[in-house]
Homo-oligomer: A and B are copies of this chain.
Amino acid sequence: MSWQLTPSIVGDLARGAAVLGTGGGGDPYIGALLARQALAVHGPVTVVGLDELPDDALVLTVAMMGAPTVMVEKLPSLDEVVAPVHALGASLGRPVTHIACAEAGGVNSTIPIAAAAALGLPLLDADGMGRAFPELQMVLPTLYGITASPLAFADEKGNTAVLSTIDNTWTERIARVACVEMGCSVMLAGFAMSGASAREALVPASLSACLSIGRGIVEAREAKTDPVAAVVAALGGREVFEGKVVDVERGTTAGFARGNARIEGRGDTVTLSFQNEHLIARTTTGILVTTPDLIIVLDAETAEPITTEGLRYGQRVRVIAAPSDERWHSAEALAMVGPGYFGYDLPSHRFDGTIENSETAA
């Protein structure tokens, strides 16, 4: 079922996307500004479900790459958002028919709205992860053999590049160093795929889910019920900790916002380790949950999602663990996005506490 995306719902959608963004994917306020501006200038965007997508559609994902810390200070223009799509156009030789989100996140769910509006194209009600991950190859389409390249990227100065690489990890490596040199944030277009492939490889109905989560938070606030509980229910997750942020150690290295945050609560302290997104949540005695399941930090009262670059001393927060798309739990997927990939010598811990090793992987 298709629906119209108008400026009035962008705020809720961006807020819900920031929840699924697990700390990364960019600031929802910035993301909403960009999308609202584009919708105001170019009119509403039609959002199309995967079930309505023709097999022979040509789908491109559009995203911002870089350190979220930098994205906040270097807002892209609409010209920059559409530049990589145009740059890729020539390589593909036939017209792009649909835009999709690579991930769920405050900016990376809204940049594609801006792109779709400016290009006059429909947007898919879907994304490549069902959450956010820090590296470009970390999308379900990679697991389906869909190539990131030809991949185009552009900066705000007017520089563009089109990569053609031997695998998606090389796309990430080359785009990342270029991104750092170009100022630590660039706009991307890539992962060209047919409608049939998109239906198989993307996470369905995820824009609808973002909107529903974001609306649920506002409705709970208005009803004076607990908005954090509304998020937990919507995600089928569980609340794992509540406390006060007492320490945030953060650096922008190799184009990523990396660091650790400590949260003190009743009788224990939780440490969150992140690379753009939260990857590991541990108490003083053990692991609570790890990537690929979702680690979400919400304001304790309002359930406003807090990005990793938004973490500040003194914030009262609640930490939620929630299941990822089940496809992230295959052995192949865990090799790509599990704790080991990020340098943590740990098995994956699911949101419900289940420890996953190669035998138990889905």
Contacts and interface: CB of A to CB of B under 8 A. Distances in A.
B181 A174 contact: yes
Contact of A177 (B160, B162, B163, B181): B181
Contact of A160 (B90, B164, B176): B164
Contacts of A176: 181
Interface in A145-182: 157-166, 170, 173-174, 176-178, 180-182
Contacts of A174: 159, 161, 178, 181-182
A340 to B, nearest CB: 23
Interface of A: 87, 90-91, 157-166, 170, 173-174, 176-178, 180-182
Nearest to A151: B161
Contacts of A158: 165-166
Contacts of A161: 161-164, 174
Contact of A181 (B90, B91, B173, B182): B173
19 contacts: A87-B164, A90-B90, A90-B91, A157-B166, A157-B170, A158-B166, A159-B163, A159-B165, A160-B163, A160-B165, A161-B163, A161-B164, A161-B174, A162-B162, A174-B178, A174-B181, A176-B181, A177-B177, A177-B180
Copies in the complex: 2
A271 to B, nearest CB: 32
A286 B90 CA distance: 56
A314 to B, nearest CB: 38
Contacts of A160: 163-165
B159 A166 contact: yes
Given A158-B166, A161-B163, 17 more contacts: A87-B164, A90-B90, A90-B91, A159-B164, A159-B165, A159-B174, A160-B164, A162-B162, A173-B181, A174-B178, A174-B181, A174-B182, A176-B181, A177-B177, A177-B180, A177-B181, A178-B178
